[in-house]
Amino acid sequence: MPGSQADAHAYWLREPGRGEIRPVTLPEPGPDDVLVRTLRSGVSRGTETLVFRGGVPPSQHEAMRAPFQEGGFPGPVKYGYLNVGLVEQGPAELRGRTVFCLYPHQTAYVVPAGAVTVVPEEVPPARAVLAGTVETAVNALWDAAPLLGDRVTVVGAGMVGCCVARLLSRFPGAEVTLVDVDAGRADVAAALGVDFALPENAAAGRDLVVHTSATSAGLQRSLDLLAPEGTVVDLSWYGDREVRLSLGGAFHSARLGIRASQVGTISPARSARRTTHDRLALALDLLRDPAFDALITGRSRFAELPDAMARLAAGNLPALCHVITYEE
């Protein structure tokens, strides 16, 4: 019962490069709270491995805080935001429902009922952990505003890039190519219904390029692929890494643009008419699409998470979305 010792266990980054599992004492749920038992959580590989290595610059410590983060950067910190669980206590309309919450990796937790969003029955828990990533893709496309029949390239076939590519594939007449240095991502692109190319083979003259690789080389290639007056929408989070670009070529003469997009606020194109709850509900509805299962490429048990995070950060555990499983 809540209030007893070790009601739950949570993953913490003790210090850069070292994670651990800690016991948690849960608060007693109030009348407007829910007690959720976690079924699955997802590792947001780009952001969480950056946090793992201590790569969040001091100027961004507050901006990078997750909704239910405890501690602070560079550590100790409890960080994460892709959690799917079962409501065991709470308002009648939520009890027994599977929900998504922007909560870290923890076996059970208590949050306000308004902090959870019901997962559609057709969406399995493992796929539902992608809700936060699909939400990022939704916001990016609100920012990018692709048009009917556009030629679009997504540079970087990680979680975010793949989600963007799948949503773009549903635009009528759109020609969508996913670009990555890993030729093995061609199979993922095929499952998502888009073309694939290595960077050196990618077609130029694109109306829009979405960049997600978090590398200088990826951003430079994105600019090189644009048609005149085209725009790169950059979703990458570089942390403390320096970004270098060569802007002496067509950048000025072709009037190219780079625009940042991030999920912390609603895109200005929709901020007057959509809330963050609306955006997350839309993302979960879009996850009825089974094509997103192609992004689930690895699993570890919760007890293995400290080792799994270290291996993901080191590149020894290749994965798009790495799912953490919990006792059921």
CATH number for the domain including 195?
3.40.50.720
Identify whether 22 is part of a domain. yes
Same domain, 231 and 145: yes
Same domain, 226 and 302: no
Same domain, 245 and 139: yes
Amino acid identity for residue 47 in this structure: T
How many domains, in total, are found in the chain? Answer: 2
For residue 320, what are the domain limits? 8-130+287-325
Identify whether 270 is part of a domain. no
Same domain, 198 and 254: yes
Identify whether 211 is part of a domain. yes
Q: Taking the CA atoms of the chain, what radius of gyration do you get in angstroms?
A: 20
Identify whether 1 is part of a domain. no
Looking at 241, 260, 279, which one is the last position of a domain? 260
Same domain, 74 and 164: no
Same domain, 14 and 125: yes
Amino acid identity for residue 276 in this structure: T
Identify whether 278 is part of a domain. no
Same domain, 96 and 140: no
For position 264, what pLDDT does the model report? Answer: 86
Identify whether 162 is part of a domain. yes
Same domain, 117 and 155: no
Same domain, 292 and 309: yes
Identify whether 268 is part of a domain. no
Same domain, 151 and 96: no
Q: Tell me, yes or no, if the pTM score tops 0.75.
A: yes
What are residue 309's phi and psi, to 5 degrees? -65, -40
| Cβ-proximal residues to 230 (8 Å cutoff; 6+ apart), any chain | 206, 207, 208, 209, 254, 256, 257
Go through the chain and tell me how many residues it has. 328
Identify whether 269 is part of a domain. no
Same domain, 103 and 37: yes
For position 3, what pLDDT does the model report? Answer: 46
In the chain, at which residue ranges do the beta strands (DSSP E only) sit? 8-15, 18-24, 33-43, 70-71, 77-78, 83-89, 98-101, 108-112, 116-118, 151-155, 175-179, 195-197, 206-211, 226-234, 257-260, 296-301, 321-325
d(CA 260, CA 63): 15
Residue numbers in the chain where pLDDT is lower than 50: 1-5
Looking at 243, 260, 277, which one is the last position of a domain? 260
| Cβ-proximal residues to 31 (8 Å cutoff; 6+ apart), any chain | none
CATH number for the domain including 68?
3.90.180.10
d(CA 79, CA 313): 15
Same domain, 186 and 302: no
